Structure 1
Amino acid sequence: MYTLLNTMDINGPVIAQSDGTLLLEIANPFAEEARAKISAFSELISSPDYMHTYRISPLSLWNAASAGISYEDIGLTLNKFSKYPVPQSLLDFIRHTIDRADSVVLLPTAREDTLCLKIKPPLSKREILSYRSLKKYLMLSYQELEEKEDILYLNMLHRGTVKQALIDLDYPVSDKVPLKQGDRLDISLQENLQGEKRFSLRAYQKDAVKAFTGDDTPGTGYGTIVMPCGSGKTIVGIAVMAHYKTHTLILTPNIAAAHQWIDEILEKTNISPNMIGEYTGEKKTIKPVTVATYNILTWRPDPDVDFYPHFDLFIKHNWGLIIYDEVHLLPAPVFKITAELQAKRRCGLTATLVREDGKEHHLFALVGPKRYDIPWKQVEEKGWIASALCYEIRIPLPDNDRMEYITADRRKKFKIASTNSLKNKIAEILVKRHRGLPALIIGQYVEQLEKLAKELSIPIITGKTPNKKREEIYNQFKEGKIKTLIVSKVANFSIDLPDAAVAIQISGSFGSRQEEAQRLGRILRPKEHNAYFYSIITRDTVEEEFGLNRQRFLTEQGYKYNIEVWTEEEIEQNG
């Protein structure tokens, strides 16, 4: 029986509602203190000027429970900061969800190949065995291991599969099975870099590493670290490698990202080039530190056959740590590998846990809970990422395209609006507005980008650009030889262009919040001036609707979009 006394003794800034939403009054003098507390067990939904909205969800509560936050802790926080009494139905939901988070514990047994599930109320062994998705993997007894009232047994190989099935049933597993060490690697961070450069971890980077590694006891060494683009997620990953000193496999979204990881490791650690392998479409070498791409792992010779020849990379070597760069992009086939790698330490790195397929809970089960999260604006206030000014420029659809738009299906409508010919003129105007600042023009549709590149005589990188040519152009941009660069969605992720100060988004992938965040991230490296992020939207079309959804993640982080409405006449005059 749980009982929480109402401890309201201040004019609280929080209004707790029975549907799990929390309204935070920003003008209240206790708002910042309350924000720090409620962020540990709720998710920010929106952040307009005066009232921010958070939501308590099962996933946010599971993450809180993994961090050692109890029902009593949450209840006391809500009662302390709530303006009005907290609805009992909300407290009951929190209690019930936290209880479920502690209902299943995975433990080792006397047999190396066997694990056990210890089951606690409100869950029962009978309930678990009633689910077909679980029953075939579980046993009442296992050879010489005895049957017990609250125990079920499973083969070590099914560890991830069972965890994934249980979380689909809203029962996250607390995994207390010790992780394997892997082969040892003598890796350490170097403070003195080439020339006069010095390097040390920032305070929040140290906090992220500590939150992930914990006290190195069972139940630690796996999970996700959430940090803004440009704040040094790669550095944190390398610091985790230096902590565990073990052979490491690093998975990245593309070859450019793989090369950046290799460069960073060589610069900031004592590891020599002959200790690092690249496993991509271009090279396939396995070394104590191996950097691979998701694409090579999910390649299959026959699209109709579920066979991935490169999956054996995971078992060819005794890895002690696997790092998932941009873990929110984890392709569906890699979930299977991740399920089979539960004995390894697993570190996911991302700027946002948002997945457009809604599989965040699978990341929780197979990679691990969120161990660390720092708000974008907090990092910006410390000067570690650039201050960004966000603009949405709304333009009309030309009359000669309107009839085609009206008669098109929804997908074609989106393309017509996204490739609005007036956008090229806007892009040219914005490049002139910020003449002298390194600028990226980013888009979804290659033909649109190629036309713009030809009109403005600007270099372009798309999926068709050979990797060697891509890196040549990236380097020219970094060195200032190219001031403006056009890039397709291949540059959304893990591309290090530290001097980019302006991003002009002329089209995007429908309502992808993660893409919006990643594109802003291209210009957030620290610099002496502001960064500028423009999103060009066709008014009174489906693109306007998708644009609002795209912006949601950034507005949750505290960014504000300044709206500019341009008429066709104004565009012609300024062009």
Structure 2
Amino acid sequence: MERELGPWRLTFRVRGWLSDEVFGEISRYARYLGRDRGYGLFRIDPERLRGNGLTLWDAIASLEDLGVAVEEDLEALKRAAEEALRVVLELRGGWVYISSRVMLKPILEEEGLSLPYDREARAYRAPPIMYPRLREAFERRGLKVEDRVFPPSSRSLPRPVRFTGELRDYQEEALEAWRKAGGRGVIVLPTGAGKTVVAIAAVAWAGVWSLIVVYTRDHVRQWIDAFRRFTDAHSLVGAYYGEEKRLAPITVTTYQTAYRHIDRLAPLFPFLVFDEAHHIPADKFKRIASASPAPYRMGLSATIEREDGRHEEVYSLVGGVVYSSSPGELTRKGYLAPFVIRRVKVELEEEEKRLYEDLKRKYRILARGRSFEKILEDARRGDPTAIEAIRVNTRMKEIVQLSESKIRAVEKLVREELSRGSKVIVFTQYRRQAEEIARRTGALLLHGGLERRVREATLAKFRALKAGALVVTTVGDEGLDIPDANVGILVSGTGSRRQFIQRLGRLLRPGEGKRAVLYEVIARGTGEELQSRRRRGRG
């Protein structure tokens, strides 16, 4: 059982006779008990406090203002109130423990919370992510929170960090919207619009230990370089991944490393920044957010929506979308390079077309009118026709995306753009297709199978070129930074809007006289035409 609340038995004396006005004021929070040796005797009444929307501290402040209470009683009231209204929050063993002499159950019920009660510890237990909500709820009711999760000033940065950059108007708006949302939420801005800079400004503003969670090792270095470029926090920034594990007041880590070490990291950082926040709902990665008590949370993404609909989970783990702007909006304002999207339609080869049509007929028979989502659901339950339907669908996509007609179209586009002095990035989903295109066009090649040093050398070589072509697989979807690239060619992909926005964003960093072109190479008469319409959405 929870311990009984003590302050409601607290009494205090008042000097002399009270006017009706003063008596009425005290009666808002205390019950008159009678006279005792020349003093008026009162007892704090919790029902009157609640009925008048007051806390015990409001009552004490009122008595101080009225100046009628016996001083030693008032001081005793304060001491007893601090002890009796104390709620202790402590992080241990992957839980936040909540202990108090206060009857917490009604408060938790008002908050819609049902938490397990640990009889041995004489405390409630809550997942760490609930810490900010619990603290706010207790403080709102006038309880004295003894915070052992993040004690005041314990996780402040060793010194103030000065943001030395200059925010654009939309970046200022994004930062302000996040602050107004209580330091929680997702900021959606196109690739190249400076999401990183907004987060760095937020870290400087918050002034607390901050953990930046990014998707790849390359991103770790990019973020550290950005902190050095836009702040004076140089010595305060560290990397925590792989063999390099230096915990610092501002630490940059990867999703994989954060997941493996979250029990060590969680108690240290009141501020979490999730780059490419659409990754959070992955079964492993969402534990980074749920196991952390961090009150400050920021998610960054070019497009938060996921094809599986699980982006809704990001909102409960980080906060809702507090600011969003599209590539078209920022292009019209002059912050991103103007761009045009051109569809290049090709015909499948005769043999490819025959195979595709045969598979399409087979798929329709297997699908039996079911939506693809329903087929996926049935396949997860072991339905053999659904499993075969997915296999056939995958083969259809491969025939279309790996079409010889597409490769020839890409060859032609690359030659034409190089003759104009363009800097071209060719995006493909398949490594063997990337290798074939690079071989035929003489382009540089980047894929996940290459050693890191080779990838870095390839990127450095491409960045140094005034004109040239680079073929990339999905390794280039996130974190590829080629500011002067002005032409993109989509050969194959997932069909998702998020991937489309990310690939378009690689071309949109502004430059004098720059106009970006994104080609979509699409097989006519196939599902790619519908995919193209869906993923382009609105600009």
Q: TM-score, normalised by structure 2?
A: 0.67
How do residues 86-485 of structure 1 correspond to structure 2 at under 5 angstroms? 110-113=86-89, 144-148=102-106, 150=110, 152=113, 154=115, 155=124, 157-158=126-127, 160=129, 180=150, 182-189=155-162, 191=164, 199-214=165-180, 220-272=182-234, 274-281=235-242, 283-298=244-259, 309-315=260-266, 318-330=268-280, 331-408=282-359, 409-435=392-418, 436-480=421-465, 483-485=468-470
Contact 1:250 1:323 in 2 (8 A): yes
C-alpha spacing 1:176/1:241, structure 2 compared with 1 (3 Å): farther
Q: Could you tell me how far apart the structure 2 residues matched to 1:162 and 1:226 are?
A: 26
Amino acid at match of 2:489: I
CA distance in 2 between counterparts of 1:319 and 1:173 reads 18
**Equivalent pair of 1:186/1:246 in contact (CA under 8 Å):** no
Distance 2:395 2:530 in 1: 15
For 2:435 and 2:400, how far apart are their aligned partners in 1? 17
Q: Distance in 2 between matches of 1:444 and 1:438?
A: 20
The CA deviation string for residues 145-188 of structure 1, in whole angstroms up to 9 with x for no partner, is 2543735563463254799xxxxxxxx99976789463324353
Q: Is the 8 A contact 1:211 1:372 kept in 2?
A: yes
The code of the aligned residue for 1:253 comes to Y
Q: Which residue of 2 aligns with 1:499?
A: 484
Question: 1:231 deviation in Å?
Answer: 0.8
Q: Find the counterpart in structure 2 of residue 515 from structure 1.
A: 499
Structure 1 residues 364 and 176: alpha-carbon distance in aligned structure 2, compared to 1, 3 A threshold: farther
Which one has the bigger helix percentage? 2
Instruction: State the 1:341 CA deviation.
Output: 1.7
Give the CA deviation at 1:246.
1.9
- How far is 1:243 from its partner? 0.5
Residue 275 of structure 2 aligns to which amino acid in structure 1? D
AA of the residue aligned to 1:535: E
Aligned length: 393
- 3-state SS of paired residue (1:238): helix
Cα distance, 1:342 vs structure 2: 3.7
Change in Cα spacing, 1:185 to 1:489, as seen in structure 2 (3 Å) is farther
Give secondary structure in 1 for the equivalent of 2:268.
Answer: coil
In structure 2, runs of 5+ residues without a counterpart are 1-84, 116-123, 140-148, 360-391
If asked which structure has higher relative contact order (CA below 8 Å, sep 6+), I would say 1
Gaps of 5+ in 1: 1-108, 116-136, 164-171, 192-198, 299-308, 558-575
Q: Indicate if the aligned counterparts of 2:220 and 2:252 stay in contact, CA closer than 8 A.
A: yes
What is the correspondence of 1:36-115 to structure 2 with a 5 Å cutoff? Answer: 110-113=86-89
The alpha-carbon distance between structure 1 residues 385 and 282, as it changes in their structure 2 partners (threshold 3 A), is farther
CA distance in 2, matches of 1:160, 1:189: 29
Alignment partners' CA distance in 1, 2:399 and 2:243? 36
Q: Does 437-446 or 356-365 show the bigger shift?
A: 356-365
Superposed CA offset, 1:486-523 (max 9, x none): 111011012221111001010001x3110011000100
Q: Which residue of 2 aligns with 1:301?
A: none
Asked whether the equivalents of residues 236 and 248 of structure 2 are also in contact (C-alpha less than 8 Å), the reply is yes
Q: Deviations over 1:394-435 (max 9, x none)?
A: 111100222332334111000110011121221122122222
Amino acid at match of 1:378: E
Matched residue, 1:544:
529
Over the matched positions of the two proteins, sequence identity in percent amounts to: 29
Contact 2:401 2:492 in 1 (8 A): yes
CA RMSD in angstroms, aligned pairs only = 3.1
Change (3 A) 1:247 1:173: closer
Q: Secondary structure at the match of 1:416?
A: helix
> Do the aligned partners of 2:87 and 2:102 also contact (CA within 8 Å) in 1?
no
Q: Match for 2:226: what amino acid?
A: E
- Residues 428 and 174 (structure 1), Cα distance of their counterparts in 2 relative to 1, 3 Å cut: farther
Measured in 2, the distance between the counterparts of 1:211 and 1:111 equals: 31
